[in-house]
């Protein structure tokens, strides 16, 4: 098993579902929470852990601490990955005077005011890290489809299942699959020299190699594409799916999009990058029902079918490592739909967006510990 950890972004606000800029207040009162550029975002991270019980306990403790503080002050956690209800579209600075935050505001405005779940797994070898990055980059849309929870924005249904991934700025443009660690380092340094990246963290793509000093040492693969996941059992299932896939990749050195793909070798890397982008946007639009082009064969199926195939493929790896049970809640998502699909069913049945959000607040951020689907 691998070390793993989570970075989770959350919203907080009123019992009626209105999101407020509470991060300065929360971070001054509670340890372990940090401000994002806009005050309506809160973030915390878990410490790296091997065992799933430890990861779950940390996630539950962080959420319980935050929810308890908010309740004492008349507020709630607000589910979803976009600001679903009508809101002020002006940027709300969490730390006025911070030059990085000012740059984010000027470049992107409130398109960054979304919430997400970033899953990190440890890989020691930098070349293996880059190879795993290439594969997970091609398969990241599957994780977006599992987690999609942002069908509404500013009081309207957008027609998307993950509005967040549609509007969130991917930067820089045309991030390559990287042929190796030296290519990654050279490319990153060039982008920072040209000003396309503000710093080493300004690489906003579905998945990225990362570390404390990533140009000196890579330590973790960070999957960034997931919408915020309210059900902890589903979140742990997504973590288990990523870990099992990475373990499988490490066991099979021949797995590599740059070496094993239907795309002509002369044009393979840019064609695969374009395929990945297309699959991401398809998943943002229709999540589990979206079409999906397989990077190995070029065949098109659905995201749902690809997920079923991937889960079946990695289950023996998870069984050997002792965490196959963590994959089970993903079957609930495949059967019943993700949060966006369930919310849209309610919306089409006539329920208002506000009532949908208020009902989700009432159910809170549940944890399906009884091996059943505890869904919003």
pLDDT confidence of 265, banded at 50, 70, 90?
A: confident
Domain span at 215: 4-363
Tokens of 349: 């049945």
Q: pLDDT for 20-33, tens place per residue?
A: 999 999 999 999 99
Mean pLDDT of the chain: 94
DSSP 71-91: HHTT-EEE-SSS--S----S-
- CATH number, domain with residue 153: 3.30.590.20
SS3 of the chain: helix, strand, coil, percent, to 5: 50, 15, 40
Tokens of 26: 């929360």
The β-bridge partners of 116 are 227
Q: pLDDT for 96-124, tens place per residue?
A: 989 989 999 999 999 999 999 999 999 99
Say if 376 falls within a structural domain. Answer: no
Q: pLDDT for 211-225, tens place per residue?
A: 999 999 999 999 999
Measure the N-to-C terminal CA separation of the chain; round to a whole number of Å.
Answer: 31
Residue 257 and residue 179 in contact, taking contact as beta carbons nearer than 8 Å: no
Instruction: Please return the burial class of 289, using the count of CB atoms within 10 Å of its CB with bins 0-12, 13-18 and 19+.
Output: middle
Q: pLDDT for 53-76, tens place per residue?
A: 999 999 999 999 999 999 999 999
Q: What is the pLDDT of residue 376?
A: 42
Say if 121 falls within a structural domain. Answer: yes
Q: Considering the entire predicted model, what is its pTM?
A: 0.95
The β-bridge partners of 93 are 38
Say if 375 falls within a structural domain. Answer: no
- Where helices occur in the chain by DSSP H, the ranges are 23-29, 52-72, 99-108, 126-147, 163-167, 181-194, 232-251, 268-286, 303-321, 329-336, 339-348, 353-363
Angle subtended by helix axes 339-348 and 353-363, to nearest 10: 130
Domain count, the chain: 1
Q: pLDDT for 312-359, tens place per residue?
A: 999 999 999 999 999 999 999 999 999 999 999 999 999 999 999 999
Say if 149 falls within a structural domain. Answer: yes
Closest to 314 (Cα-Cα) out of 302, 301, 303, 323: 323
User: How many CA within 13 A on the CB side of residue 376?
Assistant: 31
Say if 86 falls within a structural domain. Answer: yes
Cα–Cα distance list, 137 to 144, 228, 295, 307, 353 (Å): 12, 19, 10, 15, 33
Question: What does the chain come to in residues?
Answer: 376
Give the C-alpha separation, 275 to 306, whole Å: 15
Residue 221 and residue 246 in contact, taking contact as beta carbons nearer than 8 Å: yes
Say if 373 falls within a structural domain. Answer: no
Residue 325 and residue 227 in contact, taking contact as beta carbons nearer than 8 Å: no
Q: Is the dihedral of CA 255, 258, 259, 262 positive or negative?
A: positive
Residue 172 and residue 191 in contact, taking contact as beta carbons nearer than 8 Å: yes
Say if 221 falls within a structural domain. Answer: yes
Say if 369 falls within a structural domain. Answer: no
Give the C-alpha separation, 238 to 229, whole Å: 9
């Amino acid at each position: 098993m691998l070390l793993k950890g989570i970075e989770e972004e959350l919203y907080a606000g009123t019992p009626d579902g209105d999101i407020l800029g509470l991060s300065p207040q929360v971070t001054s009162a509670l340890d372990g929470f940090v401000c994002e550029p806009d005050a309506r975002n809160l973030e915390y991270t878990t410490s790296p852990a091997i065992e799933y019980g430890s990861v779950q306990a940390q996630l539950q403790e962080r959420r319980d601490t935050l929810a308890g503080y908010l309740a004492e002050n008349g507020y709630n956690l607000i589910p979803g990955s976009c600001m679903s209800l009508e809101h002020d579209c002006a940027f709300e600075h969490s730390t006025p005077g911070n030059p990085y935050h000012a740059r984010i505001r000027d470049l992107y405005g409130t398109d960054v005011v979304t919430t997400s779940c970033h899953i990190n797994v440890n890989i020691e070898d930098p070349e293996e890290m880059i190879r795993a990055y290439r594969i997970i980059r091609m398969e990241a849309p599957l994780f977006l489809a599992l987690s999609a929870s942002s069908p509404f924005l500013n009081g309207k249904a957008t027609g998307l299942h993950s509005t967040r991934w549609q509007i969130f700025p991917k930067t820089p443009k045309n991030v390559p699959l990287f042929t190796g660690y030296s290519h990654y380092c050279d490319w990153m340094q060039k982008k920072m020299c040209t000003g396309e990246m503000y710093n080493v963290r300004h690489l906003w793509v579905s998945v990225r190699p990362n570390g404390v000093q990533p140009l000196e040492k890579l330590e973790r693969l960070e999957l960034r594409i997931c919408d915020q996941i309210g059900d902890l059992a589903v979140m742990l299932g997504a973590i288990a799916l990523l870990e099992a896939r990475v373990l499988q990749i490490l066991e099979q050195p021949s797995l590599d999009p740059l070496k094993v793909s239907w795309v002509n070798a002369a044009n393979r890397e840019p064609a695969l990058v374009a395929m990945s982008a297309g699959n991401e946007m398809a998943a943002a639009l229709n999540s589990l029902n979206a079409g999906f082009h397989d990077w190995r064969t070029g065949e098109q199926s659905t995201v749902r079918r690809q997920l079923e195939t991937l889960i079946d493929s990695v289950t023996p790896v998870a069984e050997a490592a002792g965490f196959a049970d963590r994959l089970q809640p993903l079957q609930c998502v495949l059967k019943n739909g993700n949060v966006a699909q369930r919310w849209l069913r309610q919306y089409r049945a006539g329920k208002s967006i506000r009532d949908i959000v208020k009902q989700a607040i009432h159910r809170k951020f549940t944890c399906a510990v009884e091996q059943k689907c505890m869904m919003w």
